[in-house]
Structure 1
Amino acid sequence: MASSKETTDEPQVSGVYVYGIVPADVETEEDAVGVCDGSVSTVKHGDIAALVSEISVDRPLGKPEDLQAHAHLLDGTSRVAPVLPLRFGAVMTDEDAVEEELLAAHADEFAAALEELEGRAQYVVKGRYVEKAILREVIDENEQAGKLRDTIRDQPEDATRDARMALGEIVSNAIVAKRDEDTAKVVEALTSLTDSVNVREPTHEEEAAQVAVLVEVARQDELEKAVGALAEEWDGRVDMRLLGPLAAYDFVVTAKPEG
């Protein structure tokens, strides 16, 4: 077999974008599309395969639609089969390189990881504080915050700048403490469903919790009930969302191969 790195007089104009690793018996749908609307196929090696599509090498990656296409394909696959996601932007020279330098070189590692993921997918539980509710809660619990609120009320902004800053700091610190407590409660509510949990860093100042879990797809109903119970308990205080099934980004993302 010719080397994928053979030199030619003509510059290379296309490469192979790699999304993730799946069992070799996974079949791609005919209308499956990936980055740059590329048609998705598989490159196989023994019992494992890579999800790939052709891509122009002079086309820069990183647009929102590129990231969405990458995630959409992997998340869709996770609904029907275990998938090891590669980091966004993995491009190799050709399909021979995918088979030899990626699949063959890591065959045992990939096969073992896929076996561990069999029947499982990632879900993300998100909670966002209701602004008015959490502010009222902080003021009710903190005497100094209540006094500052009274000082600010009906006063010009310029005249109460220091009080507003002091109140803002109290609220911010209180939310951090509440987030820690509420995140711990989310984790506790999910421990009976999984021992694979990743607490994510907050992405918004009013975030109450963001927790990724690896759960058997067959237990999704139980997961929905657990999150629903929290949503009911925190009704009007925290808006809860459950995302998934998703590819297991928080647990088994594979580094980009050297293409």
Structure 2
Amino acid sequence: MSVYVYSIVATTHPQGLAGLDGVGKPPSTLRTVQSKELSAVVSDAPEELRPKRRDLAAHQAVQERLMADGTVLPLQFGFTTTDDEAVRAVLKERAEEFTERLEALEGCAEYHLKAAQDEDAMLRQILQESDEARSLNDQIKSGTGSPDLPMALGELVAQEVEARQQQLASVVLDALRGFAREESGSQATGNDFLSVSFLVERDNEKSFLAAEQDLAKELGEDFDLRLLGPLPAYSFV
């Protein structure tokens, strides 16, 4: 049977897993595979592994329990390999790399921030501040302009939105990165102009959270900042 791998910790980590179940139905039993310096938390992998709510919750519960007792390299949901020996071989082969990463994550947690601006508010701002956009819009409203004007206005607005969102992302990052040990950006989706994870030291969490709240107040009601954390440091493994 293949093996499901949850996370990697130092062998000195308490690895207190009592009362937790692994993925699968019925739930699998958690165990550890050890090398000299590292330990991987694993279980038997179910034949059909899908991101169902119960399995996602089981995976996350393991990370949170381990994170409460020490530093963890959390693996993303769904990582499997052939058997315990394959896990042990990787722990030995990449011991230096994993140990260095554990040291980099020590005493830290991940916070993930997504940021968006209300579309109507941004459009109003563009029309107020861009003479060209305002002129095109006025001509379209008057009905005296050429049929190409709506397309021209759309292209101009799209360029303005992209430029302004890049500037806003820089403003947000500059306000918060000084409170983090590392940052890791991801592709923003939907109306978001920013999706970024921060690796924050526990001793710095209050300052980081206060800075995020101050930034939200400064930006105002037209902005939506959604901060999740503390999380296992998935983005920094």
Q: TM-score, normalised by structure 1?
A: 0.76
Cα distance in structure 1, aligned partners of 2:44 and 2:147? 57
User: For 1:136, which of 118, 124, 142 is the aligned residue?
Assistant: 124
Contact 2:187–2:195, Cα closer than 8 Å, also in 1: yes
Q: How far 1:132 sits from its partner (Å)?
A: 1.6
Matching of residue 241 in structure 1 with residue 223 in structure 2: no
Provide, for residues 13-45 of structure 1, a one-character-per-residue CA deviation record: whole Å limited to 9, x for no partner: x21111221233222241344366544333233
Contact 2:180–2:208, Cα closer than 8 Å, also in 1: no
User: Which letter maps to 1:200?
Assistant: S
Tell me the matched-pair count.
232
Q: CA 1:208–1:104 in 2, change beyond 3 Å: closer, same or farther?
A: same
Structure 1: any 5+ residue segments left out of the alignment?
A: 1-13, 253-259
2:178 aligns to what SS in structure 1? coil
User: For 1:166, which of 146, 152, 156 is the aligned residue?
Assistant: 152
Contact 1:133–1:237, Cα closer than 8 Å, also in 2: yes
Q: Which residue of 1 aligns with 2:211?
A: 226
User: Which letter maps to 1:142?
Assistant: S
Kindly, what percent of the aligned residue pairs are identical?
Answer: 32
Q: CA 1:68–1:168 in 2, change beyond 3 Å: closer, same or farther?
A: farther
2:220 aligns to what SS in structure 1? coil
Matching of residue 51 in structure 1 with residue 51 in structure 2: no
Structure 2: any 5+ residue segments left out of the alignment?
A: none
Contact 2:6–2:63, Cα closer than 8 Å, also in 1: no
Q: CA 1:190–1:62 in 2, change beyond 3 Å: closer, same or farther?
A: same
Cα distance in structure 1, aligned partners of 2:224 and 2:72? 30
Matching of residue 114 in structure 1 with residue 109 in structure 2: no
Q: CA 1:245–1:154 in 2, change beyond 3 Å: closer, same or farther?
A: farther
2:71 aligns to what SS in structure 1? coil
Q: Which residue of 1 aligns with 2:168?
A: 182
User: Which letter maps to 2:130?
Assistant: N
Q: How far 1:73 sits from its partner (Å)?
A: 4.1
Cα distance in structure 1, aligned partners of 2:93 and 2:228? 34
Matching of residue 126 in structure 1 with residue 114 in structure 2: yes
Q: Which residue of 2 aligns with 1:255?
A: none
Q: TM-score, normalised by structure 2?
A: 0.82
Cα distance in structure 1, aligned partners of 2:152 and 2:72? 49
Aligned counterparts, 1:1-259, within 5 A: 14-24=1-11, 25-34=14-23, 37-57=27-47, 59=48, 61=49, 63=51, 65=53, 68-69=56-57, 72-73=60-61, 76=64, 77-99=66-88, 101-153=89-141, 162-204=148-190, 206-252=191-237
Cα distance in structure 2, aligned partners of 1:71 and 1:185? 35
Contact 1:187–1:197, Cα closer than 8 Å, also in 2: no
Contact 1:19–1:70, Cα closer than 8 Å, also in 2: no
Cα distance in structure 2, aligned partners of 1:196 and 1:42? 29
Q: CA 1:219–1:80 in 2, change beyond 3 Å: closer, same or farther?
A: farther
Query: Relative to structure 2, which stretch is displaced further, 227-236 or 72-81?
Result: 72-81
Contact 2:133–2:153, Cα closer than 8 Å, also in 1: yes
Structure 1 segments, 4+ long, off by >6 Å, are: none
